[in-house]
Structure 1
Amino acid sequence: MSTASPAAPPADTDAARAATRESLEDYTLRFAPRSYRRWGPAVVATSALGGIAYLADFSIGANIGMAHGTVNALLGIGVAAVIIFVTGLPLAYYAARYNIDLDLITRGAGFGYYGSVVTNIVFATFTFIFFALEGSIMAQGLELGLGIPRPVGYALSTLMIIPLVIYGMKILAKLQVWTTPLWLLLMVIPLVYLVATHPESVSQFFAYGGQAGEGSPDLASVMLAAGVCLSLMAQIAEQIDYLRFMPPRTDANRRAWWTAVVMAGPGWVVFGALKQAIGLFIAVYVIANLDPAASATANEPVHQFLGVYAEMMPAWLAMTLAVVLVVISQIKINVTNAYSGSLAWTNSFTRVTGTYPGRLVFVLVNLGIALALMEANMFDVLNTILGFYANCAMAWVVTVATDIGINKYLLKISPKAPEFRRGMLYAVNPVGFVSMLASALASIAVFFGAFGPGVQPFSPIVAVGLAVVLPPVLAVATRGRYYLRRSDDGIAIPMVDAEGNPSDVRLRCCVTGLDFERPDMLASARSGPDGEPLFISSLALATDRTGEHLLPADPPAPGRAGAITATAALSPARVNEPETEPATRS
């Protein structure tokens, strides 16, 4: 079999090969192959949950509680948590089962090959907003503990992440596993101390009415609080960036596999909701018992923990532990923000331009935007930024979850197996694309008061409601015709093994000369020099600007020449081989 198409442009070949350097690129644009996924379910889950060590939850909980009171804040946190869990479960399952990230899931869940670019931008925005938020919190800690000016602290919190995030999952898994025990200890001690030594703090907490003096439930306040919390909905995409490396599900590991998927997937929101409640609890204690004027800084985690630590130990040790907690938390989450953001930007840029600049370029781009936000002091307008962003995040995630849950499983209009490869999908599918835009724009209009102040707090309901209703309506209206450009990729080898996991059978890409696992491959529209069939990886196809390898939209009748047998497709020497450069092969 020929190992390269003679007509393949060298620039495209170089771009495709550059993206296969998994030590740096970490499967940015494609399916994560079984040969790379060597971690057990527990390690993957711990790595994914390590990414939720951010302190922003403490700020969010304090902010909404100080604005709307404890009762409304807790109800808002609960509403948001239920929505995030329900919508996150199908996404996490698809990522772990089929080993693809949320962008690849989105493509086949109603958006199309290019349609999901808009959701990638939404997700990239999430990563730099929350990187800036965590970087701001770290700078607050450095200023308080070491006297470092905040602008310098912003720069330090950004620059220190770059060397940690370059090497992707291999380094991130170790970092998250090693730092999680210390982080948990530093976070839990203050709560246990307060409840044990100051039991009256519990009643103070539930009686706190906030700026509005709301001691009883108020629907508008609950929804405003929920709207801020729902800005975290896009966190599921960061969880999925880890979950795509889950090992195959087998009878032997089924329980551990499902536990890891649920806990590290939608289960992140349980821990997030607890952190928001703890942040408000500590803030109320600091305001009520330590310094009535502390409301100016009670939403800053470093002041929250310092206030409690100072009652437990000497001042120097309290300051040290508060700074250590802030730094560890910032590193744990911001390596994830930088990593996931680089994947999102790179994926979109490569699809639109056919050029692969490398993931590291977009690590720097994402961090540059985040640093600019920090220097602009975004922390002071946190609620407004998060409330606005929540509308976009909800529109995207709920639309994808609806397509999976209703259009795939209930109506059976959307293909159940996820499809992400160029040539197999239409450029844009109106089912998801239109649903997401319509729900986002409508909820943003409500958020900014276009329909009056009485409706304004309910923008989350508008976003979620439209994102649930529109996808099935549009799927039925279009009869599902825009989901698949082709129903057959021209290769007769099954996509999955006997246990339903993505196959690890390998085929050689005619452009790069490398071997890729079956789910990554398609038949090429071109034939080899002697008329033999050629195969192309989804990666090479993404960087092919000629389009000459794309199969036609309307496949031939069954028995066509393009569908080949397993014997012709694969020689024994090409099964389960590592992805190596062609020069290393005999």
Structure 2
Amino acid sequence: MSLTTDEHDKSGGLTATAPQAPGTSETMAAAKESLEDYTLRFAPRSYRKWTPAVVATSALGGIAYLADFSIGATIGMAYGTASAVVGILIAAVIIFTTGLPLAYYAARYNLDLDLITRGSGFGYYGSIVTNIIFATFTFIFFALEGAIMAQGLEVGLGIPKWIGYAVSTLIVIPLVIYGMKTLAKLQVWTTPLWLVLMVIPMVYLVAQNPDSVATFFAYTGESGTGGVSFASAMLAAGVCLSLMAQIAEQIDYLRFMPPKTPENSRKWWTAVIMGGPGWVVFGAIKQITGLFIAVYLIATMTPGADVNAAEPVNQFLGVYREMMPGWLAMALAVILVVISQIKINVTNAYSGSLAWTNSFTRVTGRYPGRMVFVVVNLAIALILMEANMFDFLNTVLGFYANCAMAWVVTVAADIAINKYLLKLSPKAPEFRRGMLYAVNPVGFVSMITSAVVSIAIFFGVFGTAVQPFSPLFAVGLALVLTPALAIATRGRYYLRRGDDGIELPMYDQHGNPVDDRLTCCVTGLEFERPDMLASAVPGPDGEKQYISSLALATDKTGVHVLPADPPVR
């Protein structure tokens, strides 16, 4: 096989393959498919040609989902406007704070959240459990968005929901096949239309019906009580915090940020904040907007309107009908729902497939191809849709939030506290096999403990008095246990080796990963320096050989793995 010059540019350092060695078919398949996706890999510098603005726009395109409107309406109808808004704001602050260090690390070192998690307290195999948590996030929210699209198709075109579920699933597959470049173009091209369709109705509603603002703030929901109830606000926050894992999808875009330099520093930071934790600002606005529209519909429409007031298609259809003829209102509502579903669910399908692929390859040493797991993820999502997950939305999201918070807060605490404050965790991220221990108790134990305890509280094991506060326990335990275990273990389980055997520096003068290339002894392909290690197997003449992290991940024999450093006593 040979690669053209164009393919060389796209590959992040691939030139030509040497004759395929026996037993390398899995590695070669992984290498070929990951040219576009970097499924198991560091994102090479030669591939990252987008400007910070394009990366940020692409990342924000992935938050076009309408689930926020449903979440805001659902928690508001349950707990009232005041408690719901306070809960939304509490969740937004927590998500932004924990998401910032993760977004910085992804953009600075060009790694997805799984690769970051490995070196941030979990170990090479320990992070597999977090991949499963993230994959669960992607199919839950794929199912939620698919259900919203099915609602739109039923209202607008009379298509039965069960068929709509299938359509919303199948329509995504062709778009996901082509990887990140196609997804980025899709997000950039569709964002302006999506913004117009979403923003104009809200502006019109407030301008034409100023009394709707007072009605909104006076709404008490099913609770029937005015003012803010802290318990209700925390229950609302728990549902919103289920979106915490969204930062992993933002990172799937941010890892393609260009190198940070003194010349582009301001634009770089703006893009990282906007495209990273900044998503939650727009998310909180959408949640409050969804509740606002739902309250308006309940207050102004026929009795029983609250039955469908949490469904985005009915929310926007109700407002559109006041602005334009019914046929046009229906058409625009359906268009908005379809665009939103496609924008977010291509990201859900893509990111979920990466998470499943990473886990499967590490456990088995086999690479069946990313598209296998696209199908797996979508099949699970379709089952959830057919099971009518939309009807028990709060319970599903409230339960999941505890797992997501335990994971994300643990990684954020390791980066912010253990790396930068205590300096017990290596500051530079590490993700390569052989450099890490299989499991690091610092992050792994912290996450499992905080998740189990908070889930038990969520289900009332410790009584109803503390039940609403399970999110606080998830956050608090992860925040305390992570540095406590790092101190207790003195950071000894972060690195199995302190040296990867390569003399070339890993970072340039600005702290960015370098683009020097080395040839992998297994595949004959060239990879950039941060993606390489020295092989434990010398060359034919005794010379040092190098192996890519990709080849090492699919090496079932382990012969290329360097020996561990002697234990420190």
Matched, 1:519 2:525: no
Aligned positions of 1:97-246 closer than 5 A: 97-246=108-257
Normalising by structure 1, what TM-score? 0.93
User: What's the counterpart of residue 10 of structure 1?
Assistant: 22
Contact 1:25–1:359, Cα closer than 8 Å, also in 2: no
Query: Aligned partners of 1:10 and 1:305: how far apart in 2?
Result: 59
Paired residue type of 1:379: F
Equivalent position to 2:481, from 470, 483, 488: 470
Paired residue type of 1:543: T
Query: Aligned partners of 2:566 and 2:397: how far apart in 1?
Result: 46
Query: Aligned partners of 1:188 and 1:554: how far apart in 2?
Result: 58
Matched, 1:456 2:473: no
Matched, 1:383 2:394: yes
Matched, 1:411 2:422: yes
Aligned positions of 1:496-515 closer than 5 A: 496-515=507-526
| Cα deviation code 1:31-62 (max 9, x no counterpart) | 00011111111111000000000000000000
Paired residue secondary structure (2:545):
strand
Contact 2:18–2:525, Cα closer than 8 Å, also in 1: no
Paired residue secondary structure (1:19):
helix
Equivalent position to 1:432, from 443, 448, 451: 443
User: What's the counterpart of residue 7 of structure 2?
Assistant: none
Equivalent position to 1:486, from 488, 492, 497: 497
Paired residue type of 1:36: Y
Contact 1:238–1:336, Cα closer than 8 Å, also in 2: yes
User: What's the counterpart of residue 262 of structure 1?
Assistant: 273
User: What's the counterpart of residue 43 of structure 2?
Assistant: 32
| Cα deviation code 1:175-225 (max 9, x no counterpart) | 000000000000001110011000000000000000001311111000000
Query: Aligned partners of 2:50 and 2:471: how far apart in 1?
Result: 37
User: Deviation at 1:9?
Assistant: 6.6
| CA 1:9–1:554: 2 relative to 1, 3 Å | farther
| Cα deviation code 1:414-450 (max 9, x no counterpart) | 0000000000000000000000000000000000000
Paired residue secondary structure (2:534):
strand
Equivalent position to 1:314, from 304, 325, 328: 325
Paired residue secondary structure (2:485):
helix
Contact 1:279–1:304, Cα closer than 8 Å, also in 2: yes
Equivalent position to 2:316, from 278, 302, 305: 305
| Cα deviation code 1:38-89 (max 9, x no counterpart) | 1111111000000000000000000000000000000000000000000000
| Cα deviation code 1:428-473 (max 9, x no counterpart) | 0000000000000000000000000111000000100000000111
Contact 1:24–1:168, Cα closer than 8 Å, also in 2: no
CA-atom RMSD, angstroms?
1.5
Query: Aligned partners of 1:5 and 1:529: how far apart in 2?
Result: 15
Paired residue type of 1:540: A
Query: Aligned partners of 2:175 and 2:561: how far apart in 1?
Result: 38
Contact 2:349–2:374, Cα closer than 8 Å, also in 1: yes
| Cα deviation code 1:213-244 (max 9, x no counterpart) | 13111110000000000000000000000000
Contact 1:430–1:482, Cα closer than 8 Å, also in 2: yes
Contact 1:57–1:276, Cα closer than 8 Å, also in 2: yes
Query: Aligned partners of 1:138 and 1:5: how far apart in 2?
Result: 48
Matched, 1:366 2:377: yes
**Unaligned stretches of 5+ in structure 1?**
558-586
Query: Aligned partners of 1:144 and 1:516: how far apart in 2?
Result: 51
Query: Aligned partners of 1:368 and 1:297: how far apart in 2?
Result: 27
User: Deviation at 1:521?
Assistant: 0.3
Query: Aligned partners of 2:22 and 2:304: how far apart in 1?
Result: 66
Paired residue type of 2:226: G
- Tell me the number of residue pairs that the alignment of Structure 1 and Structure 2 aligns: 553
Paired residue secondary structure (1:107):
helix
User: What's the counterpart of residue 443 of structure 1?
Assistant: 454
Paired residue type of 2:227: S
Paired residue type of 2:97: V
Matched, 1:333 2:344: yes
Paired residue type of 1:106: T
Contact 2:91–2:240, Cα closer than 8 Å, also in 1: yes
Alignment identity in percent? 78
Equivalent position to 1:79, from 65, 78, 90: 90
User: Deviation at 1:14?
Assistant: 1.5
